[in-house]
Amino acid sequence: MIKSIILAAGKGTRMKSEKPKVLHEIFDKPLLGYVIEAVDNTGMCDENFVIVGHKAEQVEEYINNNHCKNTKCVLQSPQLGTGHAVSMVLPYLNKFNGNIIILCGDTPLITSDTLNKFINFHREKSSDITVMSAIFDNPSNYGRIIRNPDDSVHSIVEEKDANPEQKAVKEINAGIYCVNWEKVNLAFSELKNNNAQGEYYLTDIVKWGNEHNLSVNAYTLSDNKEIFGINSRENLAEAVRIMNNQTLSRFMSNGVTIVDPSTTWISGETEIGTDTVIYPCCYINGKNKIGKHCKIGPFAHLRGDVVLEDYVKIGNFVEVKKTTIKSHTNACHLTYLGDSEIGSNVNIGAGTITANYNPLTKVKSKTIIKDNVKIGSNSVLVAPVTIEEGANVGAVGVITKNIPAWALAITRAPLRVLENWVQKKK
């Protein structure tokens, strides 16, 4: 097994935000969450160390609420560079003699598959330090990978320090490392900060490794998009677009119809069965499971923890959250379904609302609708409430207690028609 060190201490000045950069979200999941899950999904890592600094308490709260099982936060204060950040874990790893991967918490597109290949390359080469690299047609602003004749890595040269020959190199440093900790940990006590910023740079371990006759190599990434880092709101929007396009392409390859990919946004944690159709202007975030032959949208919003069985229809301007809907049920328009269990062959009329939240107690309660129920238009189901099998709720119903099977529930006042009322008022 290996361990990881994830750098997440930076402020992210260009984000212009009160929120730490690594907690900005894509489909309701922080950037840092994507990186941790990519590491965990390699199946090789048994412990993660997240280096925190700017607004550390917020990052720690996220870690403790979501990744506490195998992830530890380590404070970097003051923040004196990436090499200094890694040195913060020295007290926790003084007896560790395996491999460690080091990566940034603001690269949400990195995949576990790539990390697996990277780690395996490091092992196959019997490498002491392996740097992940990428080939860019325009490598401006990136540190260049300078190789030796035997293909090992001689150095990483930042662009401002590169000569014309080095600037012509298109292989760049991707910012991810795998190191033999037993041999390399000493570097983090010996790095120098004799540079314009007065910081200790992680890139300097390459030079240190060569000076100590270690094996230093580079693994070249096949998809450059995976190392796309988030430094601005524009970067964040671009990452969302890249991730969404990858997700939609996967769905379409697996038999899902996406009518208009340019207006459809679906989280990668969502599962969708074959022959389901997603109409334009839908937003599906969080973790969901959508069955076969369903129809979603247009203008539908699934907010997470939604399970739709086969042949379910969620129509225009319908919002669904934390709800399970069984097969052949329709909610065609203008409806909110939250914290609900809905049976099969149910028809939800337009304008129906499950009133699941009590603003005084701040408690959310469940609505249960059994098989073959019909809910009339503009009904409000005030949870907790159960509509038993086959019951009908008349239009404009306000349901505050359980309705027995096959009953009709009506709460509206009788219709009164006052003839000539308008003319009399005139």
**pLDDT tens-digit readout, 217-242:** 999 999 999 999 999 999 999 999 99
Q: 189 with 338, same domain?
A: no
What letter would DSSP give residue 22? G
Residue-by-residue DSSP string for 345-410: S-EE-TT-EEE-EETTTTEE--EEE-TT-EE-TT-EEESSEEE-TT-EE-TT-EE-S-B-TT-EE-
Q: 275 with 211, same domain?
A: no
* Residue 221 dihedral angles phi and psi, to the nearest 5°: -70, 140
Task: Look at residue 415 in the predicted model and tell me its pLDDT.
Answer: 87
Provide the domain count of the chain.
Answer: 2
Question: What is the Rg, in whole angstroms, of the alpha carbon atoms belonging to the chain?
Answer: 28
Q: 263 with 213, same domain?
A: no
Out of 105-109, 157-161, 177-181, 213-217, which region has the weakest mean confidence (pLDDT)?
157-161
Q: Does pLDDT of 158 surpass 90? A: no
Q: Does pLDDT of 194 surpass 80? A: yes
Query: What domain range is 286 assigned to?
Result: 254-409
In a domain? residue 70: yes
Burial class (CB in 10 A: 0-12, 13-18, 19+), 262: exposed
Q: 220 with 322, same domain?
A: no
Task: Look at residue 195 in the predicted model and tell me its pLDDT.
Answer: 79
Inter-residue contact 297 to 316 (CB < 8 Å) = yes
**pLDDT tens-digit readout, 375-391:** 999 999 999 999 999 99
Q: 340 with 258, same domain?
A: yes
Task: Report the CATH number that the domain containing residue 34 is assigned in CATH.
Answer: 3.90.550.10
The residues, ordered by sequence, that sit 6+ positions from 208 with a Cβ below 8 Å of its Cβ are 187, 190, 191
> pLDDT above 90 covers what percent of the chain?
93
**pLDDT tens-digit readout, 136-153:** 999 988 999 999 999 999
Task: Look at residue 69 in the predicted model and tell me its pLDDT.
Answer: 81
- Could you give the count of Cα atoms lying within 13 Å of 114 in the half-sphere of its Cβ? 24
**Nearest C-alpha neighbor of 179 from the set 205, 199, 155, 142:** 205
Q: Does pLDDT of 251 surpass 90? A: yes
CB burial readout 47-63, b (16+ within 10 A) else e? bbbbbbbbbbeebbebb
Taking the alpha carbons at both ends of the chain, their separation in whole angstroms is 86
Q: 105 with 222, same domain?
A: yes
Q: Does pLDDT of 426 surpass 90? A: no
In a domain? residue 241: no
Which residue shows structure tokens 């380590």?
A: 74
Q: 123 with 190, same domain?
A: yes
In a domain? residue 237: no
Compute the distance between CA of residue 383 and CA of residue 372 in angstroms, rounded to an integer.
19
The separation between CA 284 and the C-alpha centre of its own chain, rounded to angstroms, equals: 12
Cα distances (angstroms) measured from residue 266 to each of 104, 163, 307: 25, 45, 15
Q: 21 with 161, same domain?
A: yes
Give the residue numbers marked as catalytic: 333
In a domain? residue 249: no
In a domain? residue 234: no
In a domain? residue 246: no
Q: 57 with 128, same domain?
A: yes
Phi-psi region of 331 (alpha: psi -120 to 50; beta: other; left: phi over 0): beta
pTM above 0.85, yes or no: yes
Compute the distance between CA of residue 275 and CA of residue 266 in angstroms, rounded to an integer.
16
**pLDDT tens-digit readout, 322-362:** 999 999 999 999 999 999 999 999 999 999 999 999 999 99
Tell me: cis bond preceding 384? Omega within 30 of 0 counts: yes
Inter-residue contact 274 to 256 (CB < 8 Å) = yes
Q: Does pLDDT of 367 surpass 90? A: yes
Inter-residue contact 154 to 147 (CB < 8 Å) = yes
What letter would DSSP give residue 269? T
Inter-axis angle of helices 31-40 and 112-124, to 10 degrees?
50
Phi-psi region of 39 (alpha: psi -120 to 50; beta: other; left: phi over 0): alpha
Q: Does pLDDT of 196 surpass 80? A: no
Q: Which helix (H) or strand (E) holds 119?
A: helix 112-124
Q: 201 with 294, same domain?
A: no
Q: 356 with 212, same domain?
A: no
Compute the distance between CA of residue 264 and CA of residue 249 in angstroms, rounded to an integer.
12
For residue 348, what are the β-bridge partners? 331, 375
Split at pLDDT 50, 70, 90, the class of 302 is very high
Q: 299 with 350, same domain?
A: yes
In a domain? residue 367: yes
In a domain? residue 305: yes
Task: Report the CATH number that the domain containing residue 358 is assigned in CATH.
Answer: 2.160.10.10
